[in-house]
Chain A
Amino acid sequence: MQTKQPRRPGELVFNLAMVLGSLFLLWSAYGISGFEALSAPGAVPMVTTAAMLVCAVLIFRESLRKGASTDETVARDILPLPILVTIAAVAAYALLLRPLGFLPTSFLFLTGLIYYLGRYSLLRAALLSALIVLIIFLIFRIVFTVLMPPGIVPEAEILAWFRGLFAGRGA
């Protein structure tokens, strides 16, 4: 704990959140079976969360002693815009996956992020994304047999059409 590094922006808040979170978990662990017995279902959770609380308090105390960093800001070094956009993109992906389906959602996700992060032209980002989504779909759908929501894309019909095409050739 004898670090000379200055405190990063938001570190104090995060460490305080860990103290409060540990306290809440300790309370929940106590609620499992209280001090019923050493072999009770709540015994290990109580010891674990008590250890979390003690550590969190020590970490918080240490961060209070550190001097605040003068050359770092939350907006630039902790939560810059690309990180917020990426988190939002992952959340949006999860929201759209069922209604739209794997192929369109993945295409939109990749095109959006590659366009935003890489500063490519929209057309280039879209073409690149289409290629990547196609490769991922073929590998994971066919090799790994992973089932993803088809959504608005008639995936089963397309696959059946492809199979029919190859069966037709083979015959």
Chain B
Amino acid sequence: MDAVNALLIPIFDLQLLGLIALGTFAGIYVGAIPGLSVTMAVSILISFTFTWEVYPALALMIGIYMGGVYGGSRTAILLNIPGAPSAIATALDGFPMAQQGKAGEAIGIVTVVSFIGGFIGIFALALFAPSLADFAIRFQPRDYFLLGVLGILLVGSLSGESLVKGIFSGALGIAIGSVGMDPLTFTERFTFEISGLRAGVSFVAVMIGMFGISEGLMQLHTVNTAAVKQTIGRIVPSWAQVRKHLPLGLQTSSIGTVIGALPGTGGDIAALMAYDHAKRVTKNPEVPFGKGAIEGLVAPETANNAAVGGAFIPMLTLGIPGDAVTAIMIGALFIHGLNPGPLLMTSQPDMFWFIVSSLMLANCFMLIFGLTGIRLFVKIVELPRTVLLPVILLLSIVGAYAVNNSLTDVYWMLGFGVFGYFMKLYGYPLGPVILGVILSRLLDDNWRRAIISDQESLWMLLKGTLASPLSLVLFAAVILIFLSKTPLWGLVFRRKTAA
């Protein structure tokens, strides 16, 4: 009964409903405008909503997340510039369709299949998360530690050009998250005798710097690029067209949900894997892939929206983010005094069902806003970036300042922004840094609990890991991911292929 009540909260509360609608609407535009990312929007938003109650703050962020993942497809289709990384695969067939004068048809089908994918992801979240949380209560500290390491390794190996740079970024994030007083022994760590560092570095300043400022600086390289104008025809797709692609959409939605649920992996990887799956299973597409195949739109767009629901599964059940946006949302929950994980799921199940309901509503609003107001959309996307970028920078500064009313946070933000800009230029992924910052406490606490319970013996810890099926699976996954990126793996693989 509590679950039903919590599910109904955002539906009957007009303020929450309005915030979800507003968030979804804004998310579509944020996701669509190249250079504005959902991660950037959500990280800036945290600093403005931290004084709010937790439900309205979450409602707005969930709307932006859902709308943003979908919105990225718009500019991928219209301009061949994916508005978000999760829309990279969409551009491969979406833009050729726009060049053939079928931009409206492409946007229409993408909207409907994103809605279907989104619902499957949310359904999986509602179905599996409660039982996973019950199971997660039995997790040992070493399992949490291994899950944290797994998340950083996964995002490090998949989001950048090399695993080594990914590990470096993740480790840097953990080091940044360790700055300040150790909560167990009150020993100072990385404070360099600067009193201002004893409370640690504001993670909001790190996030806004890394995702707001650095992205803004990167966009300055192409600030004067003129927008390509497109004409839009019929938008709402026919039922026959939707029905024809439904089986593929269901398969790729499942892929998206699973990939999204893996700690550290998000919609971008889900979309690329789904696109690859579609290419393999579609034997005779009407139009070849890469030249405007509808299947090339259905697969990535179902998968990236399904990954949204999937990403909430590890976040809510284990306190481990599914992707960069859920990492930031965990930060938002921390600010509101909540600690996501199995205990939150069992002690405050209404919070879980509120999130499920908000996601469902955001998905519905995405369908409505997606199929309407396209002409207004085209006008807004054509806004000059020379105006947009200074506004983003201003919002970033205000956001970094607002959390603690501290100018020091603004300087931190600028420092991390410039540093993040160089990292991006030289191919270091930024996602693992944020994941590292968020997971540093979890990793540190659970490592120390695990090793203390095993009497400070690495041998005992290893024996315990090998004796527990769950720990063993996690340990094997960590080792496999690591080995798969080393020359040794290539040697073994080549020998087997040669044999």
Report B77 CB to chain A, min CB distance, Å.
Answer: 27
Chain A, residue nearest B447 (CB): A44
For chains A and B in complex, what number of residue pairs have CB atoms within 8 angstroms?
167
A62 to B168, CA, bound (A): 14
Contacts of A62 in B (CB 8 A): 164
With contacts A113-B390, A136-B395 taken as known, whether A8 is within 8 angstroms of B171 at the C-beta atoms is no
Over the window 446-461 of chain B, the binary record of Cβ atoms lying under 8 Å from chain A Cβ atoms (1 yes, 0 no) is: 0110011000101000
Over the window 411-443 of chain B, the binary record of Cβ atoms lying under 8 Å from chain A Cβ atoms (1 yes, 0 no) is: 100100110011001110000000000001001
Report B449 CB to chain A, min CB distance, Å.
Answer: 8
With contacts A113-B393, A118-B386 taken as known, whether A48 is within 8 angstroms of B190 at the C-beta atoms is no
B232 an interface residue at 8 Å Cβ cutoff?
Answer: no
A100 an interface residue at 8 Å Cβ cutoff?
Answer: no
B239 an interface residue at 8 Å Cβ cutoff?
Answer: no
A43 an interface residue at 8 Å Cβ cutoff?
Answer: yes
A128 an interface residue at 8 Å Cβ cutoff?
Answer: yes
Contacts of B217 in A (CB 8 A): 83, 86-87
With contacts A59-B168, A91-B414 taken as known, whether A136 is within 8 angstroms of B175 at the C-beta atoms is no
Chain A, residue nearest B393 (CB): A90
With an 8 Å Cβ cutoff, the count of chain A residues facing the other chain is 63
Please tell me if the beta carbons of B456 and A15 are within 8 angstroms of each other in the complex: no
Please tell me if the beta carbons of B418 and A87 are within 8 angstroms of each other in the complex: yes
Query: Which one of A1, A29, A94, A148 contacts B162 once the chains associate, using CB atoms below 8 Å?
Result: A1
Contacts of B172 in A (CB 8 A): 52
Contacts of A114 in B (CB 8 A): 386-387, 390
Contacts of B213 in A (CB 8 A): 90
Q: State which of B66-74, B88-96, B181-189, B331-339 sits at the interface with chain A.
A: B181-189
Query: Which one of A11, A33, A48, A113 contacts B175 once the chains associate, using CB atoms below 8 Å?
Result: A48
B167 an interface residue at 8 Å Cβ cutoff?
Answer: yes
Please tell me if the beta carbons of A32 and B456 are within 8 angstroms of each other in the complex: no
With contacts A86-B393, A97-B410 taken as known, whether A39 is within 8 angstroms of B386 at the C-beta atoms is no
Chain B interface size band reads 35 or more
Contacts of B402 in A (CB 8 A): 140, 144, 146-148
Over the window 370-404 of chain B, the binary record of Cβ atoms lying under 8 Å from chain A Cβ atoms (1 yes, 0 no) is: 00000000000000101101110111011001100
With contacts A117-B390, A136-B398 taken as known, whether A44 is within 8 angstroms of B458 at the C-beta atoms is no
Over the window 99-119 of chain B, the binary record of Cβ atoms lying under 8 Å from chain A Cβ atoms (1 yes, 0 no) is: 000000000000000000000
A68 an interface residue at 8 Å Cβ cutoff?
Answer: no
B407 an interface residue at 8 Å Cβ cutoff?
Answer: yes
Contacts of B390 in A (CB 8 A): 109-110, 113-114, 117
Contacts of A102 in B (CB 8 A): 398
Contacts of B418 in A (CB 8 A): 87
B192 an interface residue at 8 Å Cβ cutoff?
Answer: yes
A97 to B406, CA, bound (A): 11
A19 to B413, CA, bound (A): 23
Please tell me if the beta carbons of A28 and B192 are within 8 angstroms of each other in the complex: yes
Chain B, residue nearest A33 (CB): B187
A39 to B187, CA, bound (A): 13
Residues facing A in B151-180 (CB within 8 A) are 161-165, 167-168, 171-172, 174-175, 178
Contacts of B393 in A (CB 8 A): 86, 89-90, 109, 113
Residues facing B in A90-122 (CB within 8 A) are 90-91, 93-94, 97-98, 102, 106, 109-110, 113-114, 117-120
B4 an interface residue at 8 Å Cβ cutoff?
Answer: no
A132 to B38, CA, bound (A): 22
Contacts of B448 in A (CB 8 A): 39, 43-44
B282 an interface residue at 8 Å Cβ cutoff?
Answer: no
Please tell me if the beta carbons of A147 and B175 are within 8 angstroms of each other in the complex: no
Report A129 CB to chain B, min CB distance, Å.
Answer: 8
B48 an interface residue at 8 Å Cβ cutoff?
Answer: yes
With contacts A91-B414, A140-B398 taken as known, whether A14 is within 8 angstroms of B184 at the C-beta atoms is no
A25 an interface residue at 8 Å Cβ cutoff?
Answer: yes
Query: Chain A interface (Cβ within 8 Å of chain B)?
Result: 1, 3, 8, 10-11, 14-15, 18, 25, 28-29, 32-33, 37-39, 41-45, 48-49, 51-52, 55-56, 58-59, 62, 77-78, 80, 82-83, 86-87, 89-91, 93-94, 97-98, 102, 106, 109-110, 113-114, 117-120, 128, 132, 136, 140, 144-148
Query: Chain B interface (Cβ within 8 Å of chain A)?
Result: 48-49, 51, 161-165, 167-168, 171-172, 174-175, 178, 182, 184-185, 187-190, 192, 213, 216-217, 220-221, 223, 384, 386-387, 389-391, 393-395, 397-398, 401-402, 405, 407, 410-411, 414, 417-418, 421-422, 425-427, 440, 443-444, 447-448, 451-452, 456, 458
Given contacts A82-B220, A90-B213, 12 further A-B contacts (CB under 8 A): A18-B168, A37-B456, A39-B456, A55-B167, A55-B171, A77-B221, A83-B221, A93-B410, A106-B398, A118-B384, A145-B51, A148-B402
| Pairs A–B under 8 Å by Cβ, sample size 20 | A1-B163, A8-B426, A10-B422, A25-B190, A33-B187, A39-B451, A39-B452, A39-B456, A43-B447, A45-B178, A51-B171, A55-B164, A55-B171, A82-B223, A89-B393, A110-B391, A114-B386, A140-B48, A146-B402, A147-B402
Across the A-B interface, give the 9 residue pairs with the lowest CB-CB distance, nearest first.
A118-B386, A55-B168, A113-B390, A41-B182, A144-B48, A117-B386, A41-B187, A39-B448, A52-B171
